[in-house]
Structure 1
Amino acid sequence: MAKPGKQGGRHYTEAEVRAILERALRDAQAREIGHDELVAAAEEIGIPRAAIEAASRDIELVRGEEAARAAIVARRRKGFRSHLFSFLVVNAFLFAVNALTPGPWWFFWPLLGWGLGIAFHARAALSSEVSPRQIRREIERNAERARREERRRLKEQRRAERLERKERLERSAEELGHAVEEGMATVLSRIAQEIRGSVPPPPPPAGDAGRRQRIAPLDVDDAEPEALDEEDAQGAARGPAMRRRG
């Protein structure tokens, strides 16, 4: 409770309190006041929370009745405008038919009969009086519409959640499959490397092919002494032959 100041000795009647609150609300109409703020403000001036809750329920009920009454009146007037448009169009067509064809004037008979009906419709549509039964039915209809909308919203929300869970599961399964494939590829690569490292090289083939294969890897430096030996052998063979000729 706020401490009383210089103006703490002032007192107001109930009508003055109501007028002060209404003026304060008009000054603060730029923003909406929440329910908790309203309760806190009421407790500051000594109004219990239960009274505020009951008053707020009554205000909500009155607001719902006013909205229902406005919806009923708007629906009535919309129906009357549609009825009046049909009345004017059809009777203008009948007048044109009667004026363009020979014979007596007869179009005013349907005009008169239909005119009486639209006059009664105008009396009901332009009136702002709505019975409590109609208001109650409108409130129940609005409540049922709100429940259907809420069920539809919850259904859409559950469907979206199911789709999101399904997408997450599919992404998880795909990631798991990629991880398993990479792991298997790594394991198989290691096994293949171990197998290649443990197998000894094949033995060289036997016979002439083996000798050729053993001789083949000789370098050029190894082949040069072999060529020199062949030249020495040829020179030694030519020496006796030349001595015989001499």
Structure 2
Amino acid sequence: MARPGKRGGRQYTEAEVRAILERALRDAQTREVGHDELVAAAEEIGISRAAIEAASRDIELVRGEEAARAAIVARRRNGFRSHLFSFVVVNAFLFAINALTPGPWWFFWPLLGWGLSLAFHARAALSSDVSPQEVRKEVERSAEQARREELRRLEEQRRVERLERKQRLERSAEELGHAVEEGVATVLSRIAQEIRGSVPPPPPPAPADDAARRPRIAPLDADDAESEALGEDEAARAGRRDRGRR
């Protein structure tokens, strides 16, 4: 029963608190409670974090044992179903051979022997009793399998990271190569421009048809030379007569 406290609030005994929490959890089955929420709720009612951690570890252990027990029972029943299928098929085949061949009936001897083995298998497989040793081995096996899967996942993640790192390095190297090529081309172009600016340009070559455009002096032949000489002598005599008259 709830009793009023000193501050006017309601107080509950430990049994009442447990009953309230169990009923609240039953009413809230559709919602899962996180570990942090559970710790916060426990601290609200005065339960320490250490107690909650210890209780949660116990619950995880019980949950793991229950899962291991269920896995063992399921594996047993799957094995029995496979055994039963083989029993039916093989004995039907033996019956067909015995019926189609002359001679006494012999198929029931393997049927009885195998049926006895099947009966013992059914007794063990259909039972839900699991020894603590089997549960412990199953828990260890599940933990080892989970560890291997985690290692495989980490290895796959590292492989993907190495591949991505390699691709990034290749892209960076390619970009660096393009940048170096562009930089070298730019430097060579600037050097060529400076060289062209420091050396005076050569004079333009003379056109090939200048000599053709120049006037040519034809050489004088013998008659022209003699006529020119006579004209010069005549001019000299005329000049002397003029001076004599003066």
Q: TM-score range by the shorter chain?
A: 0.7 to 0.9
Could you say which residue in structure 1 is the equivalent of 2:12?
11
Q: In structure 2, the residue corresponding to 1:127 is in which secondary structure?
A: coil
CA contact (8 A) 1:87 1:114 kept: yes
Q: How many angstroms apart in 2 are the aligned matches of 1:21 and 1:205?
A: 110
* Other-structure match for 1:101: 101
Map of 1:36 onto structure 2 = 36
Deviation (angstroms), 1:133: 0.5
Instruction: Tell me what 2:238 maps to.
Output: none
Structure 2 CA distance for partners of 1:68 and 1:203, relative to 1, 3 Å: same
Larger Rg computed on CA atoms: 2
User: Residue 123 of structure 1 corresponds to which residue in structure 2?
Assistant: 123
Task: Calculate percent identity across the aligned residue pairs.
Answer: 82
Shift of 1:6: 9.3
Compared with structure 1, are the counterparts of its residues 108 and 205 closer, same or farther at alpha carbon in structure 2 (3 Å cutoff)?
closer
The aligned runs of 1:213-224 (5 Å cut-off) are none
Tell which has more relative contact order, 1 or 2 (C-alpha 8 A, sep 6+): 1
Separation in structure 1 between the aligned mates of residue 11 and residue 71 of structure 2, nearest angstrom: 45
What TM-score results when the alignment is normalised by the length of structure 1?
0.78
Alpha-carbon separation, structure 1, partners of 2:92 and 2:79: 20
1:191 and 2:204 correspond: no
Q: CA deviation at 1:10?
A: 4.2
> Which residue of 2 is the match for residue 82 of structure 1?
82
> Is 2:182 the partner of 1:182?
yes
Asked whether the equivalents of residues 204 and 210 of structure 1 are also in contact (C-alpha less than 8 Å), the reply is: no
- The residue that corresponds to 1:229 in the other structure is none
- AA matched with 2:132: P
Structure 1 stretches of at least 4 aligned residues deviating more than 3 Å after TM superposition: 4-7, 203-206, 208-213
**Matched residue, 2:134:** 134
Contact residue 73 and residue 125 of structure 1 kept, 8 A: yes
* Contact preservation (8 Å) 1:80, 1:121: yes
State the match for 2:20 in structure 1.
Answer: 20
CA contact (8 A) 1:69 1:130 kept: yes
Distance 1:116 1:210, change over 3 A: same
Name whichever of 159-168 and 56-65 sits farther off.
159-168
Distance in 1, Cα, partners of 2:81 & 2:204: 109
Larger deviation, residues 164-173 vs 187-196: 187-196
Distance 1:166 1:126 in 2: 55
Query: CA separation of 1:120/1:209 partners in 2, compared to 1, >3 Å: closer, same or farther?
Result: closer
One-letter amino acid of the structure 1 residue matched with residue 57 of structure 2? R
Q: For 1:54, give the aligned amino acid.
A: A
**Equivalent position of 2:92 in the other structure:** 92
1:145 is aligned to 145
In structure 1, give the amino acid aligned to 2:158: R
Farther off after superposition, 164-173 or 115-124: 164-173
Moved more, 188-197 or 159-168: 188-197
- 1:71 aligned partner: 71
CA displacement at 1:198 relative to structure 2: 2.3
Structure 1 unmatched runs, 5+: 217-246
- Cα separation, 1, equivalents of 2:24 and 2:44: 15
Question: What code does the residue aligned with 2:10 have?
Answer: G
2:18 partner amino acid = R
Bigger shift: residues 116-125 or 105-114: 105-114
Superposed displacement of residue 189, structure 1: 1.2
For 1:165, the aligned partner's letter is: R
Equivalenced residue count is 210
